[in-house]
Amino acid sequence: MDNDSPVETNDKSVYGCVWGVLIQLGFFVLGLWGVFYMPNGRLQVVVCSSWGITQWIVIVPLIIRERAKGERRVAQGLIITGCVGLLLSSACAGLFLR
């Protein structure tokens, strides 16, 4: 028996996590854009530290779409990474908005 063939994974939650991470990175970049191009210093910090909340504008419709397609594991991956992003954003907001 030849074991040189790659192992196929059918874990769809990883696919959802990858989507979630890409969404978080996109909203983080938008937050950084706000820091560099908004004139108000306090507003800059709020925009940069709110990416964890604003990412749900994109994640919730994706979760609904994936659940409607029957891809519950993808939806779970999106929920997991969305919650982790919210926690990271809250930690950043706590550091910058003392």
Q: Which residue has the tokens 């991470």?
A: 21
Question: What is the phi-psi region of residue 9: left when phi exceeds 0, alpha when psi lies from -120 to 50, beta otherwise?
Answer: beta
Is residue 37 one of the residues assigned to a domain?
Answer: yes
- Quote the CA–CA distance of 34 and 20 in Å, as a whole number: 21
Helix 12-37, helix 56-68: angle, nearest 10: 160
Is residue 72 one of the residues assigned to a domain?
Answer: yes
Is residue 62 one of the residues assigned to a domain?
Answer: yes
Sequence-ordered list of residues with C-beta below 8 angstroms from that of 78, at least 6 positions apart, any chain: 16, 17, 19, 20, 59, 62, 63, 66
Range of the domain at 74: 23-96
Is residue 30 one of the residues assigned to a domain?
Answer: yes
pLDDT tens per residue across span 52-95 = 788 888 899 999 999 999 999 999 999 999 998 888 878 877 77
pLDDT at 31 over 90: no
> The whole model's pTM is what?
0.73
Is residue 13 one of the residues assigned to a domain?
Answer: no
- Quote the CA–CA distance of 54 and 28 in Å, as a whole number: 10
Q: From residue 89, give the alpha-carbon distance in Å to each of 28, 49, 52, 79.
A: 9, 5, 5, 15
pLDDT band at 7 (very low <50, low <70, confident <90, very high): very low
Instruction: Tally the domains of the chain.
Output: 1
pLDDT band at 28 (very low <50, low <70, confident <90, very high): confident
Is residue 45 one of the residues assigned to a domain?
Answer: yes
Is residue 7 one of the residues assigned to a domain?
Answer: no
Is residue 36 one of the residues assigned to a domain?
Answer: yes
